[in-house]
Each structure stands twice: as structure tokens, then as C-alpha cells.
Structure 1
């Protein structure tokens, strides 16, 4: 049977490790800057591409902030741990609204055709 860490992809393991290190304060320097991609790849024993993907996804989640030509920094304040669940909930609600809107548009078009044909 696979352990939970084996079931995760390499970049998911790196993301989890970076989050832990950020919480513990062991990754960033006193300016909240994290090591570069190559150092992260060595630190977490992954390829450069995997380290880059993990950093990019952590930026998307709001954990990190990239400053071009300067570096990548830990965001302050850190995002809420439940923000991904909240984002998914909002996406689900938006999808439902789109579906209902499309259904209403179809019904309105049918009514307009019916009204138009009865007026003729």
C-alpha cells in the first residue's frame, strides 16, 4: 500500500514542504526572500522544473510573491489555509449560475418565439 507521501506528485510534495518550512520560518531570510529555484531543487531533491512549478503554484495560491529581477518572497500575510476550499466553492457556485443562466436564456428564446408566432 502506498503511503500518503508516495501518492503525491513531486511538485505536491515540494509545495507541502515549502508551506511547512514557511510556517516554521526555516525557508525565508530576514527579508522574507526564499532561495532561488536551483537551490530549492537541491534542497528538496527535485528537478529544476519541479521546483519552478511548485513556486508558480504557490504564487497562484498567494503564498509567494515574485518580484521580477529581484526574487521570490513569502507573502505577508499568508493566505488562509481554507482559501483553496473557498475558491473551489466559489467556482462551483459560478458554474451552477452559468448553467442556470444558459437554461433561462433558452427558455426566454422559446417564449419569444411563441409570442412572435402568436402575434402573426
Structure 2
């Protein structure tokens, strides 16, 4: 079975962080935990986490200052889209993060069952 129904691990991290920003649990200016802590939190390798952060930086969500940290820069969709669409996108991000989480748990259970 493919990882979380065809969603790459780095994309799961991207979706989860976007949902946290859109949902308000991460606000503009907030500092993210260190890379190793974030990788552990999301259950991914350090390289996978770094790829996700690069995507978020390229899309304008995050900014990294060497030796200081990674910070929430902006919510790109906020300026470009109307309120109703932005609310729907926030809900979709939250739902996608939940689907990714459930899929990941299911895969771990299936893997454990196969090993038994």
C-alpha cells in the first residue's frame, strides 16, 4: 500500500503546517520548533522535513533565518482570495491533515499485522 493513499510524506507535513497556520495554532511571527523536533513530531526523516520546509518557504508561508530559526511569514491565500474561499481552504487543509494522519495510522497497523 502506498504511503497515506498516494500523499508523499513531505506533502503531509506541508499540509499539516498549512492547516496549523490557517487554523490559527501557528500565527504570523511564530517560531517553529527545531528541525529535528519537527521531524520527530511529524514522524518523518530530517531530509523529508527539510523538503517540506523548503516548499513552504518557496510558497511564502515560512522564512528561515540561519542560526535563529524558522518563522511563520504569512498566509499567502489570505490576500489573494475572498473570505468564503479562504474558510473553505482552511477546512480542506484541516480535513486533509486528518485524512493523512488516519491513513498513516492505518498503514502502521497494516504493517504490524503483516509482521505478525
TM-score (norm. length: structure 2): 0.59
Gaps of 5+ in 1: 84-120
Cα distance in 2 between the residues matched to 1:59 and 1:47: 19
Q: Which is greater in Rg?
A: 1
* 1:72 corresponds to: 70
Shift of 1:33: 0.6
* 1:36 corresponds to: 34
Shift of 1:80: 1.8
TM-score (norm. length: structure 1): 0.57
Shift of 1:43: 0.9
Residues 43/27 of structure 1: CA separation in 2 closer, same or farther (3 Å cut)? farther
* 1:10 corresponds to: 9
Q: Does 1:25 align with 2:24?
A: yes
Gaps of 5+ in 2: 81-116
> What aligned pairs does 1:46-85 form with structure 2 within 5 A after superposition?
46-76=44-74, 78-80=75-77
Structure 1 stretches of 4+ with a deviation exceeding 3 A read none
